[in-house]
Each structure stands twice: as structure tokens, then as C-alpha cells.
A = this chain, B = another copy of it.
Amino acid sequence: MSDENKRRTSVGIYGQQYIIIGTESNEHIRRVAASVDEKMRQISAKNPALDISKLAVLTAVNAVNDYIKLKEQYDLLESEFKKLKD
């Protein structure tokens, strides 16, 4: 995709501003950023001694964990769906 089709969205996450460049809508990026911000605040509340880089890494771990578990559910549902279709 050419650069002119990419959008720039400015978002605030945990008190810092970020410019996110990509093909997704501004609304989608804001939803993603709000979710990251919320996860960081939840993890920080449970672990107040964490510095911001460790907090962000653990937030990424949390998000990838959610993704992998959902992917397993998705694959299972997809295989059930295919059986039902055939």
C-alpha cells in the first residue's frame, strides 16, 4: 500500500503521546490505544513498583496472551464450522 493511503493518528497512552501510522481508521486506533492505556493502569495498580518499560512489556505479554488464547478458540470454532458446512 502506498504511503498516501496511510493514516496518522495521535493518541495518548499512559501520559505519553504517540503517532500511530497505518491503514486502520482513526477510530480503531483510538480504541486500541484506550485498551493499552487501561491494561497498563490495571497492571500498574497491582505492581506499583514497576518502571514504565517493564510495565509496558508486561502489558504486551498480557495482550499477546489474550491473542493466542483467542486464536485457539477461533481455530476450534472454524473447524466446527467447516464440519457443519460439509
A residues with a Cβ closer than 8 A to B are 13-14, 16, 18, 20, 24, 28-29, 31-33, 35-36, 39-40, 51-54, 56-68, 70-71, 73-74, 77-78, 80-81, 84-85
A59 touches B60 (CB 8 A): yes
Do A68 and B16 have beta carbons less than 8 Å apart?
no
Q: A9 CA to B63 CA in the complex, in Å?
A: 17
**In the complex the two chains form, is B61's CB within 8 Å of A32's CB?**
yes
State whether A66 and B65 are in contact (beta carbons under 8 Å apart), knowing that A13-B57, A18-B58, A53-B56 are contacts in the complex.
no
B65 and A24 contact, CB distance less than 8 A = yes
CB distance from A11 to the nearest CB of B (A): 8
Q: Is the CB of A57 within 8 A of B24?
A: no
A56 CA / B14 CA spacing, docked (Å): 12
The answer to whether A70 touches B67 (Cβ under 8 A) is yes
